[in-house]
Amino acid sequence: METITAEDYIKRIYSIERHSNFASTSSIAKALEVSDASANDMMKRLSEQGYVKYIPRKGVQLTKKGKIIALKIVRRHRLWEMFLVKFLGYSWDEIHNEAERLEHVTSESLEARIDKALNFPTVDPHGDPIPTANGELIETEYQLLNDCEKGSAGIISRVSDKSPEVLQYLKNIGLGLQTKLKIVDKISFDGSIIVKANKQIIPLSPKLAQCIFIQPVTA
């Protein structure tokens, strides 16, 4: 890849595609906080280089060549996040921006050494899957906490990393990966969820509950 900026675009397109199958210029521009004109210019360059293809009246999709780059960047980002937590004492709300910088300056050799030092992890500190060295992304079935029924139980297996403030708050109240919880009540008028975890009763707002994904277990 020619520039860090181009890599950022490719990674962002990949993220948007996972939810909508294509990425519009406006959604890319909004995600990267640039103008539509800047995003459109970059789409033309990436198309000429064979990383994206245009979908008429919809936007762009990554080509096979583009997906290879995207998964490589995602892999390095998530490996660095795990490295920062495991070896350098960072907490899970502090690692995203550091990994954003490091992902662009990581060689194949360094990537392999980080992977080995971490004993070949399959998920990052937030529970997101780490693509393999061969570019395979193995997804795990999760259930959004908001969608769980009263009385059900589960183990926290993934937490959205979009908001450092949410991650910090969840850490402060003792909700992290592998925490077992039970849904004690669901408040219908405002969507709040009351859970029991670590022998404590914890109220969660809808905003918090929509950031937590669990794997169901027997209550």
The CATH number given to whatever domain includes residue 159 is: 2.30.30.90
Kindly give, in sequence order, each residue whose CB lies less than 8 Å from that of residue 135, ignoring residues fewer than 6 positions away.
Answer: 67, 68, 71, 72, 75
Q: Is residue 125 part of a domain?
A: no
Q: Identify the pLDDT of residue 42.
A: 94
Q: Identify the pLDDT of residue 219.
A: 67
- Please tell me the chain's helix, strand, coil percentages from 3-state DSSP, rounded to the nearest 5: 45, 20, 35
Q: Identify the pLDDT of residue 2.
A: 63
CATH of the domain at 16: 1.10.10.10
When pLDDT is averaged across residues 7-24 and rounded to a whole number, the result is: 93
pLDDT band at 58 (very low <50, low <70, confident <90, very high): confident
**Which among 62, 85, 110 is the end of a domain?**
62
CA 74 to chain centre: 9
Q: Identify the pLDDT of residue 188.
A: 87
Total count of domains within the chain? 2
How do residues 133-176 score in pLDDT, each as one tens digit?
Answer: 999 998 888 999 999 999 999 999 999 998 999 999 999 999 99
Q: Is residue 29 part of a domain?
A: yes
CA 180, CA 178: separation in Å to the nearest integer?
Answer: 6
Q: Identify the pLDDT of residue 173.
A: 94
Q: Identify the pLDDT of residue 140.
A: 85
Q: Is residue 124 part of a domain?
A: no
Q: Is residue 129 part of a domain?
A: no
Q: Is residue 185 part of a domain?
A: yes
Candidates 206, 214, 86; CA nearest to 152 is 214
% of the chain residues with pLDDT over 90: 89
Over the range 6-15, which residues count as b (16 or more CB within 10 Å of their CB) and which as e?
A: bbbbbbbbbe
Quick one: tokens of 34? 């640039």
Q: Is the pLDDT of residue 1 over 50?
A: no
Kindly give, in sequence order, each residue whose CB lies less than 8 Å from that of residue 166, ignoring residues fewer than 6 positions away.
Answer: 159, 160, 207, 208, 211
- Domain around 184: 143-217
Q: Is residue 122 part of a domain?
A: no
**Which among 44, 62, 80 is the end of a domain?**
62
Q: Is residue 23 part of a domain?
A: yes
How much is the pTM?
0.91
| pLDDT, mean over the chain | 94
Q: Is the pLDDT of residue 26 over 70?
A: yes
Q: Identify the pLDDT of residue 179.
A: 96
Q: Identify the pLDDT of residue 102.
A: 97
Q: Identify the pLDDT of residue 15.
A: 94
How do residues 65-115 score in pLDDT, each as one tens digit?
Answer: 999 999 999 999 999 999 999 999 999 999 999 999 999 999 999 999 999
Q: Is residue 85 part of a domain?
A: no
Q: Are strands 200-204 and 212-217 parallel, antiparallel or unpaired?
A: unpaired
CA 16, CA 174: separation in Å to the nearest integer?
Answer: 31
Q: Identify the pLDDT of residue 181.
A: 96
Strands (E), the chain: 52-55, 59-62, 143-144, 153-159, 180-186, 193-197, 200-204, 212-217
Q: Identify the pLDDT of residue 19.
A: 86
Kindly give, in sequence order, each residue whose CB lies less than 8 Å from that of residue 15, ignoring residues fewer than 6 positions away.
Answer: 31
**Which among 14, 35, 62 is the end of a domain?**
62
